[in-house]
């Protein structure tokens, strides 16, 4: 008898929190996100440099905090960032220098400070890759 109630209470607790989690996710994302574009971002003029930047982006684990075309951490999407920011700003945001340093959380600053050890060539490639991201995401 009592074991029966145990299962009931455990089930209520489990379903209850899952429903709350669903409610949270649903309230946070009122519109069903459109399918993320599957195509790679449009190629920019300096295609070789952009390709190198894409490789560094993957190698440095930027996707742990950022998403591009729906891939990676959707919390901070980078789609369209190339249209939004110029090269100097992008550099600041990647390295957490200048005004970006104040806007970023302490933890992000710590991570990004690590990128200051990157070589100039790598940075240039990353910036070029960022600049190639001119299409805003279809997802909200």
In the complex, the residues that contact ligand HEC under the rule CB under 6 A are: 57, 60-62, 64-66, 76, 78, 81, 84-85, 90, 93-94, 104, 108, 111-112, 115, 126, 130
118 sits near other proteins (criterion: CB under 8 A): no
Q: Are 63 and 73 in contact (CB under 8 A)?
A: yes
Binding residue (CB under 8 A) for other proteins from 35, 45, 75, 102:
75
27 sits near other proteins (criterion: CB under 8 A): yes
Cα 103 from Cα 73, distance rounded (Å): 19
111 sits near other proteins (criterion: CB under 8 A): yes
Nearer to other proteins, 13 or 43 (CB): 13
Cα 80 from Cα 137, distance rounded (Å): 7
Cα 25 from Cα 83, distance rounded (Å): 29
Q: Which residue has the tokens 């894409």?
A: 54
């Amino acid at each position: 008898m009592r074991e029966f109630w145990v299962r009931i209470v455990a089930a209520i607790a489990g379903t209850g929190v899952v429903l709350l989690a669903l409610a949270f996710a649903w309230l946070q994302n009122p519109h069903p996100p459109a399918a993320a574009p599957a195509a790679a971002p449009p190629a920019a003029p300096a295609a070789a440099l952009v390709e190198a930047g894409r490789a560094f982006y993957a190698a440095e684990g930027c996707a742990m905090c950022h998403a591009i075309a729906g891939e990676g951490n959707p919390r901070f999407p980078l789609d369209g960032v190339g249209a939004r920011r110029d090269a100097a700003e992008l550099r600041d945001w990647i390295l957490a220098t200048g005004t970006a340093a104040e806007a970023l959380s302490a933890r992000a600053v710590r991570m990004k400070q690590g990128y200051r050890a990157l070589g100039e060539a790598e940075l240039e490639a990353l910036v070029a890759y960022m600049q190639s991201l001119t299409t805003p995401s279809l997802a909200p």
